[in-house]
């Protein structure tokens, strides 16, 4: 086991108290929360009353692809029968396991009982080929499903043999799946074929054949770090994208149903048992874009202040490196500086069910791409160049060569000469740069500098748009490897040295610009403005308290679901609060040490 995961093991003393089919934990308000067992219900009794969160009459049908369903997707107090009606001569085929139905699937001949499936044996959760061998102890199969919804997928074949598109519905039944439990959170049902996730050859969630081939090759090295081990889940590109259906529920109501593509997202955290997903909207599946206020009015365009309501893609993020700790480090850091002159990602917590199985808390996150920049700054997508991790992420090769030449010019230029510094300011938005590095330095993001840094520019100048002036600007993302998450991000850390010692363009700019007195003065003022206002003790403490209260219960549930076998601790609430306490302690101590370090560089 590597030092990285050994460190996780030391910090994650976590066990789950199992009593038969009962899971119990202490919630953040001190109340015990447990799953409801499957209720014993007379199967002849069909629910006919309206529930608190389902205002439509349960017998009001809805139609899709030529099929009439007696009950729409949603949350229901009691079991009920689902009826599917089709024109005479047509036949319905359906599945209940998330697979795509065809003529070999179950034929619909009688109504389907939809009931509370909590307490059933795990299906997707039973797969263990999802983490590297030497940390397999970090994941154990749940004995039963704490929460499980019913997913019905159906197709109709008409009398001429023509088959419809697949219609997917998700039903949450019983107290364990009450929408009140996650009130205020979006609930996302993600449905895909089990084989597309867990097939040895092509499954995207497993070690799979990619790992076996590497293990049996001359390139195998048992010292390889977990995040560098080749596996199916580490593969990228369209060929590793799988079709899925997505339903989004808000306040108990199904507000979005569509067919999408999904891939595994992330870097090191691809090796975690709870993996992040990229979700893509394409005409190949369904809609070409999501037209929906995904972030509850909180994500707005910098160009005109309007709420952004169109998305080509988004991320369901597992919290990154913070997945086993507070699960909101990244959101905290980015939200505190979201008004600054650089781009941050919008985020909102949700609960995900995968093929009906509880998959825990995820953070709906804007994906860093051309559409993301365009939506925020009003620059046409095709005219945007993005450099991410020192590589061309989007845009022309010509612009990338210009960027490489810019980096070389900066490293060789004496910016103590005023005219040379003015040339730098003509090519880089230096206010954006200073605000951006101030925030990253203050939080002590150890996974930043060359890695996890991004910048963009408009390739065509548009005088009517101040952001299309051809200058490079900066994008913040993946900030959670910071703020005392591990010992190398302690509050006393001199994060300026990390930047100064970097060979990436951020470090090259920093070292070269420090030769200019104007830059040193402006940077010092900017840095102090950022930490005195955006990261003031009062503001940070209040926001951490708010997020702890909001995240504690569902974060504890998620950690129990995926990391319940890492060194015992009998109180997830205490475990969670301890990790939040580490975060609070970092910010309480950070100001004093970092301001001393600042003086060494700007004096």
CA 247 – CA 256 distance, rounded (Å): 5
Do the beta carbons of residue 401 and residue 409 sit within 8 Å?
no
C-alpha span between 186 and 348 (Å, rounded): 9
Domain ranges of the chain: 42-248, 377-550+565-602
Query: Residue 242 contacts by C-beta under 8 Å, 6 or more apart in sequence?
Result: 192, 193, 196, 197, 204, 261, 262, 263
Q: Are 209 and 180 in contact (CB under 8 A)?
A: no
This model's pTM is above 0.85: yes
> What is residue 65's three-state secondary structure?
coil
Cα–Cα distance, 569 to 113 (Å, whole number):
39
Do β-strands 186-191 and 347-354 pair in parallel, antiparallel, or remain unpaired? parallel
Distance between CA atoms of 470 and 468, rounded to whole angstroms? 6
How many separate helices (H) and strands (E) can be counted in the chain?
13, 26
Sign of torsion over alpha carbons 543, 273, 187, 577 = negative
Predicted pLDDT of residue 164: 96
What's 488's DSSP letter? G
Give the integer Cα–Cα distance in Å for 448 and 485: 14
Successive 10-residue mean pLDDT values, the chain, 603 residues:
42 33 41 37 39 45 89 94 95 97 97 92 92 69 82 96 96 82 94 98 98 96 91 97 98 96 97 97 97 98 96 98 97 98 98 97 98 98 97 98 98 98 98 99 92 92 98 98 97 95 95 98 98 98 98 93 71 89 98 96 90
Q: What pLDDT sits at residue 134? A: 65
Pair 471, 487: CB distance under 8 Å: no
Q: Mind listing the pLDDT tens digit for each residue in 435-459?
A: 999 999 999 999 998 767 999 999 9
What stretches of 326-482 show up as alpha helix (H) in DSSP? 329-336, 370-377, 397-412, 418-427, 430-443
Residues 6+ apart with CB under 8 A from 530: 337, 340, 435, 438, 439, 442
> Is 315 in contact with 368 (CB distance < 8 Å)?
no
> 322 with 576: CB under 8 angstroms?
no
User: What count of residues does the chain have?
Assistant: 603
Q: Which of 400, 311, 310, 386 is nearest to 343 (CA)?
A: 386
Q: How far apart are CA 148 and CA 525, in angstroms?
A: 53
Each residue of 368-383: pLDDT tens digit?
999 999 999 999 999 9
């Amino acid at each position: 086991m590597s030092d990285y995961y050994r460190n996780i093991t030391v910090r994650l003393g976590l066990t789950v108290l199992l009593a038969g089919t009962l899971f119990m934990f202490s919630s953040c308000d001190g109340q015990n929360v447990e799953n409801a067992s499957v209720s014993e219900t007379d199967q002849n009794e069909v629910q006919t009353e309206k529930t608190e969160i389902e205002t439509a009459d349960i017998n009001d049908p809805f139609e899709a692809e030529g099929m009439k369903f007696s009950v729409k997707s949603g949350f229901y107090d009691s079991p009920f029968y689902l009826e599917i009606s089709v024109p005479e001569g047509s036949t319905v085929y359906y599945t209940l396991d998330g697979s795509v139905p065809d003529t070999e699937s179950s034929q619909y001949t009688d109504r389907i009982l939809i009931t509370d499936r909590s307490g059933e044996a795990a299906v997707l959760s039973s797969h263990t080929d999802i983490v590297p061998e030497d940390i397999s102890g970090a994941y154990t199969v749940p004995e039963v499903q704490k929460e499980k919804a019913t997913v019905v997928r159906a197709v109709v074949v008409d009398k001429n043999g023509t088959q419809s598109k697949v219609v997917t519905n998700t039903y949450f039944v019983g107290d364990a799946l009450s929408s009140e439990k996650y009130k205020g959170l979006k609930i996302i049902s993600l449905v895909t074929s089990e084989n597309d996730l867990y097939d040895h050859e092509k499954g995207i969630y497993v070690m799979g054949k990619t790992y076996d081939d590497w293990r049996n090759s001359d390139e195998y090295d048992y010292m390889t770090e977990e995040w560098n081990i080749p596996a199916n889940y580490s593969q990228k590109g369209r060929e590793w994208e799988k079709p899925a259906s997505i339903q989004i529920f808000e306040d108990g109501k199904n507000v979005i149903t569509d067919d999408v593509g999904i891939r595994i997202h992330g870097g090191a955290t691809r090796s975690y048992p709870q993996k992040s997903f990229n979700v893509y909207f394409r005409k190949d599946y369904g809609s070409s874009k999501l037209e929906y206020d995904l972030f509850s009015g909180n994500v707005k365009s910098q160009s005109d202040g309007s709420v952004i309501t169109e998305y080509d893609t988004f991320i369901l993020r597992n919290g990154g490196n913070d997945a086993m700790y507070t699960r909101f480090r990244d959101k905290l850091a980015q939200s505190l500086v979201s008004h600054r002159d650089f781009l941050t990602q919008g985020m909102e917590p949700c609960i995900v069910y995968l093929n009906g199985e509880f998959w825990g808390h995820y953070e709906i996150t804007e994906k860093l791409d051309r559409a993301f920049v365009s939506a925020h700054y009003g620059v046409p997508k095709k005219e945007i160049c993005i450099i991410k991790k020192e590589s061309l992420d989007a845009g022309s090769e010509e612009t990338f060569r210009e960027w490489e030449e810019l980096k070389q010019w900066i490293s060789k230029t004496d910016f103590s000469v005023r005219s040379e510094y003015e040339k730098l300011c003509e090519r880089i938005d230096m206010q954006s740069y200073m605000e951006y590095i101030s925030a990253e330095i203050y939080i002590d993001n150890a996974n930043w500098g060359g890695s996890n840094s991004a910048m963009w520019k408009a390739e065509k100048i548009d005088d009517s748009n101040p952001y299309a002036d051809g200058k490079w600007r900066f994008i913040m993302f993946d900030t959670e490897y910071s703020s005392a998450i591990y010992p190398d991000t302690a509050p006393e850390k001199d994060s300026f040295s990390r930047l100064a010692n970097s060979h990436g363009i951020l470090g090259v700019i920093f070292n070269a610009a420090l030769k200019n007195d104007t830059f040193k003065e402006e940077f010092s003022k900017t840095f102090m403005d950022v930490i005195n206002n955006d990261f003031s003790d009062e503001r940070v403490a209040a926001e951490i308290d708010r997020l702890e209260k909001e995240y504690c219960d569902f974060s504890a549930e998620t950690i129990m679901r995926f990391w319940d076998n890492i060194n015992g601790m009998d109180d997830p609430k205490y475990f969670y609060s301890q990790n939040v306490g580490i975060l609070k302690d970092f910010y309480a101590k950070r100001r004093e040490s970092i301001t001393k370090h600042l003086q060494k560089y700007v004096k």
